[in-house]
Structure 1
Amino acid sequence: MAYSEIDWNTVWKEQYDENIHCRGCGGCASIWESREKARGFLNQSRENPDRIRHVIEGLPIGPESRVLDIGAGPGTLAVPLAGVAAHVTAVEPAAGMTEVMGEYAAEEGVSNLSIVRKRWEEIDPSADLEGPYDIVVASYSLGMPDIRAAIEAMCEASSRWVYLFWFAGTTNWEQGMVDLWSHLHGREYRRGPKADVLFNVLYSIGICPNVETTRMEHVRRFPNLEAAVAEFKEQYAVSTPEQEMVLRNYLAGALSQNGGDLLLSGMATRVKLWWEVNGCE
């Protein structure tokens, strides 16, 4: 099949659906309904500050900027951005995430942050948003089956810039699933779509993005092996004692001692794609 005949949005959706079906979950937002998990995610992000700094320092933010943060999670970007911008609107569907984001904003004394508890696909711009926005950003939050429609809506919400952050290749946390899935579930793990497909979706709709690739270390810290097993049981869909033993043995070999803690670390390739909404068509 010739390149021009490939429907890259369909490629994205097929890979997205295969990943969701393989994992047996209801989508990216479904695992973050718990406030406890959301708080843990925020704490983990604070232990990996390079990712947050990399995103914020690469945005053209000023004191008069209006920013739309899509898939804002517990506010890891939205709250710091509100500290330097005029206004930030954070779109986040998960109840646990929005609750923790509100707490985080209060802790930091942020009052120029609006939180919209919806999926991006469900947004009514006239009712839910306070645009237009100088910058629209989706940072590692592209769990959207119809990525083309999502991107087109981002362009409509922006008066100038759109910034997307995603992954290239297999991330270090995915590698564990690749290694274990057949032993746990008797089938191959299906990875979700990556930055190569995303770039082609953009190109197919007339967007020629700037691209920057960065290798970053990703570290998870645990007080002991039991805590690590408890953390990953849901992610690996572990439900039987036999499956738990497989996971335990894998983590015992993968974790490294660091003082009184155990670390699970590895490198991930992160990709930034950005463009001016009227500058690349």
Structure 2
Amino acid sequence: MKKRKIEVVVISDVHLGTYGCHADELVAYLNSIQPKKLILNGDIIDIWQFTKRYFPLSHMKVLRTIISMASKGTEVFYITGNHDEILRKFSGTSMGNLYVLDQLTLTLDEKKAWFFHGDIFDASIKNAKWLAKLGGYGYDFLIVMNKWINWCLNKLGKERYSLSKKIKNSVKSALKHISNFEKSAVDIAIENDYDYVVCGHIHQPKKEIIITKKGRCTYLNSGDWVENLTALEYSFKRWKIYRYSQDKLLPFFVDEELKGMDINELVASITTKKEREKESENKKEGKAPLNKGFF
């Protein structure tokens, strides 16, 4: 299968080593793309909940796939998060095309992009880490229970249901936390003249242009591979939220050849295609072929 060529791909909150991780789906996605840069924006390995009892082969395949991509020329940037914060002691380390960082700044088509996980804005992590870890175990239990519920729903021919999403959307404090997180990220990005701010952490995929009195910035969140199964893709000067449940392995762009065309070539190709379709319709209806004139 021909792999899709993408300039930048961002994934976060994979939580390898937990029961909620969708490792097989992530391997399928990674095997379908050929990015120039792969940004792992935190919580890829869940070291908080890591045990020797649970780290299946599918989770190991994710790591092998990422290393294989780096060996074949993809620049891989591992940005540390709160669940893999132990790796922060290695920040600034590089091994071939693999880099370990706490944050990353890139220039994409003359626009500045700022990448970081986002746990710095989470007061529960900064002030009471034990409470955050307890919440992590509770979330993992909720995901396991949700898997059983969805298995039953699938057998009954009904749609999947997300308990955690329902809880988040119904609890005002959770919604306020997400709103405050996004506002803090955007305010700091605008103050530092960033055009894009790209986060993870809150498991809420999003793409939104936010305008304040101080300026304008595009807020992006890569979501997660526990519930949403989402990533961010950047190509042809635009960002897209990739959703595994909807996009599967659909191409990012209709035709790679279109990238090199100027506007006249593009119009000509579309016009020619329309003429062929019209001629085909005329043949079916028994009409004379189109008069293309003499040259």
Q: What is the TM-score of this pair, normalised by structure 1? A: 0.30
Q: Structure 1 or 2: larger helix share?
A: 1
Larger Rg: 2
